């Protein structure tokens, strides 16, 4: 593409999960003008993998990620093994769907543990064990650092810098199907080290770029994310940082919102397309030769 | 004191703000066995500064901090000036109360701003302007990094490392009444850089140590902090890091909790004393010659 081209938008199915099944989402996202989709595994399971693959192939949408693998932290060895087996199935699904990556939400403190260092070590072990299988399947693994408010119950990987250090330790020489990161503005926008972490990262680590917004006030820890423009994140500034890295994927809207789940999904998707224009323009202005695919 | 002595406990008046006025809190904390108090300014204003000074002096409690100064971010010059004047009054109150520090909660994004770098620059300007007046009054200023979930609406200083870098830039050679930090476990427990930040800090920067706990799930962003032991923070581990720095103050319980505000305050204070024993023992085992005052 040329330098000025505006990239399309991918939509994560969590955004319309209450309104649409996965096949409905695929059909409607494509019809309304989206260019990609990122399905959640429970929605894949609900229609069956073969149906999901067919629906997405028929829609013509790119798959920017499968959500999610991870959850490596467990209270015992059996739990750790079960997590590995589950992640193998997730890799298989990502492979079948031709996904750009499998997103890893790594798990919080297992059981009643207070040992966050231990949880982080367990995550490193789990990813190291999974990576060869992902590589063999041609699937990239994207560690998604989650906002520190989720450190206890969802993910003990909480900053981009921490995720990148983990990548560097486990996979020091990233290849075609690397271990990398999924960068979601909701989780990292506050980080005083964000700019330098992005500037310093190997471009091959940047596997996904998720957008939404941070509402003020945030009325719920889990389900009050905002539509782009309804919050305080300088989305275009972050998009420019990402563009400067030559990010070649589609930006992906992922919004968990009790409010938006009660809205008409067609209007919502149209708004996602509209409200992401600034971000997409910023991404389209990436360095020549390093622009969108 | 000897190496084995267990330090007392300070209680932040926010913990019982719905149940007790400041004079009631001072009297009851002392009677129930606390060693310190940290008043909020609205509670000082409610009884008047002179009455607050007298009540706390009569109680015999140490004042581990005054909450709070800061809020440097403003939409215009008039707002910035008003913040400075308010902070001058806060310094005066901290001076009159003989407080170990004035805690600074620095302010979030002003108005509808999305410029977090700009907000952070405003905070640095505001502290730099305030420090000479604090020093002249013999009052230490303690920047309190707040959890990233408060970056937008309360405080754009969100990690210990960020706060320490700010201290280093504004006040490179800390004296007797330094610029430093208030370390609250609730805000920093998740930080993968916490241990190295504490290990690397100048001990003179550590002006206050606040404890409570992180509940899982956290049902409210603002008012669902837990009593020590009711959450997942490894309090004793952090207390050992703080002890290794030779922290010489009293640990301070500060809990914002809609649930605990509906509890009998006397029972609550007794539980604070009981549930802080592990932390206080860990602090009492600090390096000889660097222990509690």
- Helices A265-275 and A22-32 pack at an angle, to 10 degrees, of 50
Please give the angle made by the CA atoms of B260, B266 and B267, to the nearest 5 degrees.
65
Q: Are B252 and B11 in contact (CB under 8 A)?
A: yes
Please give the Cα distance from B69 to B91 (Å, whole number).
Answer: 8
Q: Is B216 helix (H, G, I), strand (E, B) or coil?
A: coil
Residue A2 has pLDDT above 50, yes or no: no
Q: Other CB atoms closer than 10 Å to residue B44's CB: what's the count?
A: 22
- Cβ neighbours of residue B210 closer than 8 Å, sequence gap 6 or more: B12, B144, B182, B183, B184, B185, B186, B251, B252, B253, B254
Of A120, A111, A140, A123, nearest to A71 by C-alpha is A123
Helices (H), chain B: 22-32, 41-47, 49-59, 77-96, 116-136, 160-170, 185-188, 194-200, 235-244, 265-275, 277-284
Give the side-chain half-sphere CA count within 13 A for A152: 19
Determine the residue of chain A that is closest to B110 in CA distance. Answer: A232
Question: Phi/psi zone of residue A186: left (φ > 0), alpha (ψ -120 to 50 degrees), beta?
Answer: alpha
Q: What is the DSSP letter of A287?
A: P
Arithmetic mean of pLDDT, A120-143? 97
Please give the Cα distance from B95 to A137 (Å, whole number).
Answer: 66
Nearest CB partner across the interface for A158, out of B153, B190, B219: B190
Residues of A with Cβ-Cβ distance to B162 under 8 angstroms: 192
Residues of A with Cβ-Cβ distance to B238 under 8 angstroms: none
CA distances for B86 relative to B72, B102, B151, angstroms: 10, 12, 21
Q: Are B11 and B208 in contact (CB under 8 A)?
A: no
A216–B109 CB contact, under 8 Å: yes
Please give the Cα distance from A237 to A280 (Å, whole number).
Answer: 12
Residues of B with Cβ-Cβ distance to A234 under 8 angstroms: 114-116
Nearest CB partner across the interface for B114, out of A151, A153, A232: A232
Chain A: give the shortest CA distance to residue B234, in Å: 5
Arithmetic mean of pLDDT, B216-237? 97
The ipTM assigned to this model is: 0.95
Residue B1 has pLDDT above 70, yes or no: no
The residue to which tokens 């969590």 are assigned: A14
Region of poorest pLDDT, from A54-58, A255-259, A288-292, B159-163: A288-292
- Cβ neighbours of residue B213 closer than 8 Å, sequence gap 6 or more: B185, B186, B225, B226, B227, B228, B229, B230, B231, B232, B233, B235
A149–B148 CB contact, under 8 Å: yes
Q: Are A249 and A208 in contact (CB under 8 A)?
A: yes
Digit-coded pLDDT (tens) for B145-195: 999 999 999 999 999 999 999 999 999 988 777 899 999 999 999 999 999
B218–A214 CB contact, under 8 Å: no
Arithmetic mean of pLDDT, B225-243? 98
Q: How much is the pLDDT for B286?
A: 73
Residue B221 has pLDDT above 80, yes or no: yes
Digit-coded pLDDT (tens) for B94-114: 999 999 999 999 999 999 999
- The β-bridge partners of A103 are A67, A142
The residue to which tokens 């609550």 are assigned: B268
Q: How much is the pLDDT for A287?
A: 57
Q: How much is the pLDDT for A285?
A: 86
B148–A191 CB contact, under 8 Å: yes
The more confident residue out of A293 and B38 is B38
Give the side-chain half-sphere CA count within 13 A for B108: 18
Please give the Cα distance from B230 to B216 (Å, whole number).
Answer: 9
Please give the angle made by the CA atoms of B285, B286 and B291, to the nearest 5 degrees.
110
Nearest CB partner across the interface for A152, out of B108, B153, B232: B232
Residues of B with Cβ-Cβ distance to A118 under 8 angstroms: none
Residue A292 has pLDDT above 70, yes or no: no
As to burial, measured by CB atoms within 10 angstroms (0-12 exposed, 13-18 middle, 19+ buried), residue A27 is middle
Of B34, B12, B16, nearest to B264 by C-alpha is B16
Of B59, B241, B229, B69, nearest to B155 by C-alpha is B69
Residue A290 has pLDDT above 90, yes or no: no
The residue to which tokens 């100064």 are assigned: B69
Q: Are B8 and B36 in contact (CB under 8 A)?
A: yes
- Cβ neighbours of residue A134 closer than 8 Å, sequence gap 6 or more: A91, A102, A140, A141, A177, A179
Arithmetic mean of pLDDT, A44-61? 98
**Element spanning B105, H or E:** strand B102-105
Residue A288 has pLDDT above 70, yes or no: no
Nearest CB partner across the interface for B192, out of A159, A192, A234: A159
Please give the Cα distance from A200 to A203 (Å, whole number).
Answer: 9
Percent of chain A with pLDDT strictly greater than 90: 93
Tokens linked to B174 = 């800390």
Arithmetic mean of pLDDT, A166-183? 91
Please give the Cα distance from A191 to B105 (Å, whole number).
Answer: 17
Pairing of strands A179-184, A252-253: unpaired
Q: How much is the pLDDT for B285?
A: 87
**Cα-to-chain-centroid distance, residue B141:** 10
Tokens linked to B232 = 């997942």
Residue A216 has pLDDT above 70, yes or no: yes
Band (B287; pLDDT cuts 50, 70, 90): low
B190–A114 CB contact, under 8 Å: no
B190–A162 CB contact, under 8 Å: no
Q: Other CB atoms closer than 10 Å to residue B60's CB: what's the count?
A: 10
Please give the angle made by the CA atoms of A28, A31 and A37, to the nearest 5 degrees.
60
Percent of chain A with pLDDT strictly greater than 70: 96
Q: How much is the pLDDT for A176?
A: 73
Please give the Cα distance from B138 to B131 (Å, whole number).
Answer: 10
Helices (H), chain A: 22-32, 41-47, 49-59, 77-97, 116-136, 160-170, 185-188, 194-200, 235-244, 265-275, 277-284
Arithmetic mean of pLDDT, A189-210? 97
Q: Are A155 and A145 in contact (CB under 8 A)?
A: yes
Q: Are B229 and B243 in contact (CB under 8 A)?
A: no
CA distances for B275 relative to A69, A190, B17, B235, B268, angstroms: 38, 32, 20, 10, 10
């Amino acid at each position: 593409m040329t330098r000025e081209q505006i990239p399309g938008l991918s939509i994560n199915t969590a955004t319309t999960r209450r309104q649409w099944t996965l096949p409905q989402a695929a059909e409607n996202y494509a019809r309304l003008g989206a260019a990609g989709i990122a399905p959640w595994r429970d929605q894949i399971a609900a229609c069956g993998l073969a149906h999901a693959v067919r629906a997405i192939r028929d829609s013509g949408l790119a798959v920017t990620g499968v959500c999610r693998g991870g959850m490596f932290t467990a209270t015992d060895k059996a739990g750790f093994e079960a997590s590995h087996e589950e992640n193998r199935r997730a890799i298989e699904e990502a492979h079948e769907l031709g996904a750009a990556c499998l997103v890893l939400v790594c798990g919080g403190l297992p059981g009643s543990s207070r040992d966050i260092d231990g949880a982080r070590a367990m995550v490193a072990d789990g990813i190291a064990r999974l990576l060869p299988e992902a590589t063999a399947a041609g699937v990239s693994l994207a560690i998604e650092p989650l906002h520190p408010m989720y450190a206890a119950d969802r993910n003990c990987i909480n900053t981009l810098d921490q995720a990148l250090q983990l990548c560097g330790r486990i996979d020091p020489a990233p290849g075609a199907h690397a271990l990398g990161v999924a960068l979601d503005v909701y989780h990292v926008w506050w980080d005083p080290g964000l700019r330098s972490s992005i500037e310093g990262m190997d471009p091959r680590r940047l596997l996904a770029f998720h957008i939404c917004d941070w509402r003020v006030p945030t009325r719920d820890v889990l389900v009050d994310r905002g539509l782009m423009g309804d919050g305080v994140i300088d989305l275009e500034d972050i998009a420019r940082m990402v563009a400067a890295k030559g990010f070649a994927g589609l930006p992906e809207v992922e919004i968990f919102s009790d409010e938006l789940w009660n809205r008409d999904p067609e209007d919502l998707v149209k708004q996602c397309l509209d409200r992401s224009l600034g971000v997409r323009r910023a991404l389209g202005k990436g360095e020549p030769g390093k622009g969108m695919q």
